Amino acid sequence: MALLTLVSSCVTLHPGEPPLPIGAVLLATPAVYREWHLKTESCSGLSGHFSAVEWYVVPGVSSFATAKGPQAGMWALQGGTHRIIVAGKYLDHEMVIRHEILHALLARAGHPPEYFVTRCNLTWESWGGAIAASEPSRH
Is position 125 within any domain?
Answer: yes
For the stretch 35-73, pLDDT in tens is 999 999 999 999 999 999 999 999 999 999 988 899 999
Q: What is the pLDDT of residue 46?
A: 98
Quick one: residue 46, left, alpha or beta (phi over 0 = left, psi -120 to 50 = alpha)?
beta
Which range among 12-16, 25-29, 48-52, 126-130 shows the weakest confidence by mean pLDDT?
Answer: 12-16
Is position 96 within any domain?
Answer: yes
pLDDT at 132 > cutoff 50? no
Domains of the chain: total: 1
Rounded to two decimals, the pTM is 0.81
Residue 83 CA to residue 123 CA, distance in Å, equals 20
* 52 or 78: which leads in pLDDT: 52
Q: What is the pLDDT of residue 128?
A: 77
Is position 65 within any domain?
Answer: yes
Residues in the chain: 139
pLDDT at 21 > cutoff 80? yes
Is position 139 within any domain?
Answer: no
Please provide the distance, in angstroms rounded to a whole number, between the alpha carbons at the two ends of the chain. Answer: 30
Boundaries of domain holding 73: 2-134
Residue 91 CA to residue 97 CA, distance in Å, equals 7
Detail the DSSP E strand segments found in 9-132.
9-12, 25-26, 53-58, 73-78, 81-87
Helices (H) and strands (E) in the chain, counts: 4, 5
Q: What is the pLDDT of residue 48?
A: 94
Pair 119, 45: CB distance under 8 Å: yes
Q: What is the pLDDT of residue 130?
A: 55
